[in-house]
Chain A
Amino acid sequence: MTSVLAVVCEPAQEAADRCEIVRDADTLIDWRTERANVTVDLSELPAPAGLSAPALDLLDVAIGIYIADIAVMRGEREAWPREITLAIPVREPRLWSSLGRDLSRLIYALTRDSFTLHFYAVPDLPEMGYECAPAPEEHVDCVSMLSGGLDSLAGAVMLQETGRRPLYSMHRSGNPSVLTAQRNVVRSIQSHWPGGSHTAPCLVAPSTAGNDTLAFPPAEQREPSRRARSLLFMALATVAAQAVSGNEVYMCENGLLTAGLPLSPSRAGSMSTHSTHPAALNLFNDIAARAGLDGLVVNPFVYETKADLIRNVLKPHLTPREIQATISCWAAGRGNRQCGGCIPCLLRRIGMVYAELPEEAYMIDVLGRPDEYVGTDAWGNLVDLLRHARRIAEQSDAELVAEQPAILALSAAGVEIGEIIAMLRRHANQTLGVVNECFPRAARLIG
């Protein structure tokens, strides 16, 4: 069943007169009128001379897609992909209609959903901008996204250590644990490289606190996977790049998660994150360029594992406390620690042990006491991680490509297959090595 949503920037009836889809929409998305059900705060995004119409449109489109992604719940198993029709008002409808097919392709690459996009004109929209910040007083020469996680912090360390002066584009999290981690990483960067960077935290989130706001699904009916969020992050960072002297936009993520290879066949497609997949970055860069925006989103860590980043990039420059003040957990905020059972937690823990950093406390210890978690998601994650690592370790290069054909999508995106395979083998050796040495009960599963 198709879910129909529409972004509006004027009273709903006026928008409905202008665009048929607004009239049919299950959910209206609004961050501009007094009935707004979305909060958008871009007040720290630098835009010294104001933003161009395509830049404003890119932000509106990315915000609309991000919120639509949250508003429509996925189903279980085969009902996971969604069909969504989304209408968005833009300043340059001809431009965006010409880009619509590529945007749908980008969204498909990120989410494995079918999005049908409609763009409509609103006469007053050109006057509706965002309150943005002046240009940073410090000289900045690139933009780098900062999430509060390990990999983006590694990106920051890499840039600072090579003498770059980044503007850190951040999406301020509504999750208190992630927000704390974001503040921690900014503090660490500023203490090690004082005055060498600038931060631009932004916020986009559903907001239904007012009495007269447009209806929006309550928190428990919102989709938690948020596969489209990296489109918003790329849009914010690329728009920020218009205000700095360099055009590189860094989106730093380790190679394993970047490759988007399913850890098991049951995780094919968007059951595995493709947030920083090279194909998605290529598609975004192409769309941004055709919209006339400078900026090239790149991920310098395509060929690095998370353990590599912790040991080779973070550990030489930051204290263990600073490194571990980051957050990786997909269930962050549900307890007072990271869960220990999701894939990012497992990779983080293995990476910390590999880098000989102190063990962290987690909610559960599925690596240390796996048999106590049989049948849980954490058990399934551990088994899939070990199955995947074992396969990589046992297979020849040709077998690896034939058995994990998602590697082909990397090749089509211009990634060097030999380097990717080398990264995968390093990941497998690190994972199996750490488990065999330090977690004997989990090691019994490897055989």
Chain B
Amino acid sequence: MRELYAQPNPSPVEVARRIAGALDAQTHAGMQGPAVATCLGALVEGCAAIERDGLERTLQQMGLPPEPAAVQLAAGLRDRAEELIAQTGQASRFGDLALEAVGTTALALATLSDSGAGLLEVPLAAVEVRFRSLRTEGELHRMAALYTGHDLDRAFRYFVARDVGDFVGGEGLPTVSDANRLEDAVAAHCRQTWRRLALGEYEPILAEAHLLDPGERFEVLQPVVASGIEQGLEQIAAGVAG
């Protein structure tokens, strides 16, 4: 794996493929752990709250101002996920990364963009419509897929960042900007897995999960996360994600 970083123009697809292929069972399990499911639960809960109360009131209940709506909602959902992880004693490294994914998923949903571009401008009403439609149109499984893609983005950034530093200044990554570009490209490639994830069968579970106590909710959502992560890792290992 590490020799790729030393070669000129390392391929992000190949870097991701080799990392995915090298992950052991314990790491697979960690990536699907309770905190990762709890983070999905926070997103599901947020969608239900917006459908029920509207976005402005949901933000108000979170103690947040209405603007910029996308940022505030993403902040509130991340904060809620953090609260649930602390309450249920689910701290883990992959939970730390999933918390980041809650925020970026919410931004992406609010802006209808993979990367969250335009997140400071999108109006509250537009954000509300987008989150409401996830429930009314039966699209929660697509949200779960998007979340999985963002979680893989954060996880593979983590894997790359652990090792890449030693190679900065060498032929493959002469500067820190090269290292940043490689990390971004690997992350983007992994994030794109979301488009191919088949999670439709979980729509009923996702639609009802908000009714459960958070302590039970993560157990119901864990199969969704496990399926998404395993499908995503398979794609990445096969080099077909993006």
Residues of A near any B CB (own CB < 8 A): 77-78, 80-83, 101, 104-105, 107-109, 112-116, 264-270, 279, 370-371, 374-375, 379-380, 383-384, 386-387, 390-391, 394, 397-399, 401-403, 405-406, 408-409, 411-412, 417, 444-447
B11-19, B80-88, B124-132 - the one binding chain A: B80-88
B92-100, B204-212, B232-240 - the one binding chain A: B92-100
Q: Tell me whether A398 and B83 are in contact (CB under 8 A).
A: no
- Report A372 CB to chain B, min CB distance, Å: 12
A447 CA / B117 CA spacing, docked (Å)? 26
Closest to A447 in B: B175
Contacts A398-B120, A447-B177: A264 and B161 contacting too (C-beta < 8 A)?
A: yes
A10 CA / B62 CA spacing, docked (Å)? 43
Contacts A265-B183, A383-B168, A411-B72: A104 and B87 contacting too (C-beta < 8 A)?
A: yes
Closest to B150 in A: A405
Q: Which of B30, B92, B119, B162 contacts A401 (CB 8 A)?
A: B119
A270 CA / B35 CA spacing, docked (Å)? 15
Known pairs A387-B165, A405-B104, A411-B71; list 14 more (Cβ under 8 Å): A83-B89, A108-B82, A112-B91, A114-B86, A265-B157, A265-B161, A268-B100, A269-B95, A270-B96, A390-B177, A401-B120, A402-B119, A405-B107, A445-B175
Q: Which of A116, A266, A405, A445 contacts B74 (CB 8 A)?
A: A405
A371 CA / B168 CA spacing, docked (Å)? 10
- On chain B, the residues within 8 Å of A268 by CB distance are 93, 96-97, 100, 154, 158
A409 CA / B108 CA spacing, docked (Å)? 17
Enumerate 24 A-B pairs (CB-CB under 8 Å) in ascending A order: A78-B93, A81-B93, A83-B89, A114-B86, A114-B89, A264-B161, A265-B157, A266-B162, A370-B169, A374-B166, A375-B166, A383-B165, A387-B168, A390-B180, A398-B119, A398-B120, A401-B71, A402-B108, A405-B101, A405-B102, A411-B64, A446-B176, A447-B176, A447-B177
Q: Tell me whether A402 and B100 are in contact (CB under 8 A).
A: no
A267 CA / B175 CA spacing, docked (Å)? 20
A3 CA / B115 CA spacing, docked (Å)? 40
Closest to B156 in A: A265
Q: Tell me whether B158 and A402 are in contact (CB under 8 A).
A: no
Contacts A108-B82, A265-B161: A383 and B87 contacting too (C-beta < 8 A)?
A: no
- Report B184 CB to chain A, min CB distance, Å: 8
Contacts A445-B176, A447-B177: A408 and B103 contacting too (C-beta < 8 A)?
A: yes
- On chain B, the residues within 8 Å of A264 by CB distance are 161, 165
* Binary CB contact string for chain B from 155 to 190 against chain A (1 if under 8 A, 0 otherwise): 001101110011011000011111110011000000
Closest to B85 in A: A108
Question: Is B138 close to A, CB under 8 A?
Answer: no
- On chain B, the residues within 8 Å of A445 by CB distance are 168-169, 175-176
- On chain B, the residues within 8 Å of A267 by CB distance are 161
A379 CA / B91 CA spacing, docked (Å)? 29
Question: Is B215 close to A, CB under 8 A?
Answer: no
A268 CA / B169 CA spacing, docked (Å)? 24
A390 CA / B179 CA spacing, docked (Å)? 11
- On chain B, the residues within 8 Å of A78 by CB distance are 26-27, 30, 92-94
- B interface: dominant SS: helix
- Report B16 CB to chain A, min CB distance, Å: 14
A33 CA / B170 CA spacing, docked (Å)? 59
- On chain B, the residues within 8 Å of A402 by CB distance are 104, 107-108, 115-117, 119
- On chain B, the residues within 8 Å of A398 by CB distance are 116-120
- On chain B, the residues within 8 Å of A412 by CB distance are 62, 64, 75-76, 78-79
Q: Tell me whether B79 and A447 are in contact (CB under 8 A).
A: no
Question: Is B90 close to A, CB under 8 A?
Answer: yes
Q: Tell me whether A81 and B86 are in contact (CB under 8 A).
A: no
Contacts A105-B86, A387-B179, A398-B119: A265 and B158 contacting too (C-beta < 8 A)?
A: yes
Q: Tell me whether A411 and B86 are in contact (CB under 8 A).
A: no
Q: Tell me whether A384 and B119 are in contact (CB under 8 A).
A: no
Closest to A115 in B: B89
- On chain B, the residues within 8 Å of A386 by CB distance are 176
Q: Tell me whether B180 and A387 are in contact (CB under 8 A).
A: yes
Contacts A78-B30, A412-B79, A447-B178: A417 and B85 contacting too (C-beta < 8 A)?
A: no
- Report B191 CB to chain A, min CB distance, Å: 11
A444 CA / B169 CA spacing, docked (Å)? 8
- On chain A, the residues within 8 Å of B161 by CB distance are 264-267, 384
- On chain A, the residues within 8 Å of B78 by CB distance are 405, 408-409, 412
Closest 3 CB pairs of A and B: A447-B175, A269-B96, A405-B103
Q: Tell me whether B169 and A371 are in contact (CB under 8 A).
A: yes
Q: Tell me whether A397 and B120 are in contact (CB under 8 A).
A: yes
For A105, A264, A390, A417, the residue with the greatest tally of chain B CB atoms inside 10 Å of its CB is: A264
- Report A402 CB to chain B, min CB distance, Å: 3
* Binary CB contact string for chain B from 109 to 125 against chain A (1 if under 8 A, 0 otherwise): 00000011111100000
For A101, A279, A374, A397, the residue with the greatest tally of chain B CB atoms inside 10 Å of its CB is: A374
- On chain B, the residues within 8 Å of A411 by CB distance are 64, 71-72, 75
Closest to B121 in A: A398
For B26, B93, B101, B117, the residue with the greatest tally of chain A CB atoms inside 10 Å of its CB is: B93
A445 CA / B165 CA spacing, docked (Å)? 11
Contacts A81-B93, A397-B120: A384 and B83 contacting too (C-beta < 8 A)?
A: no
A405 CA / B154 CA spacing, docked (Å)? 10
A265 CA / B185 CA spacing, docked (Å)? 14
Q: Tell me whether B92 and A408 are in contact (CB under 8 A).
A: no
A291 CA / B78 CA spacing, docked (Å)? 27
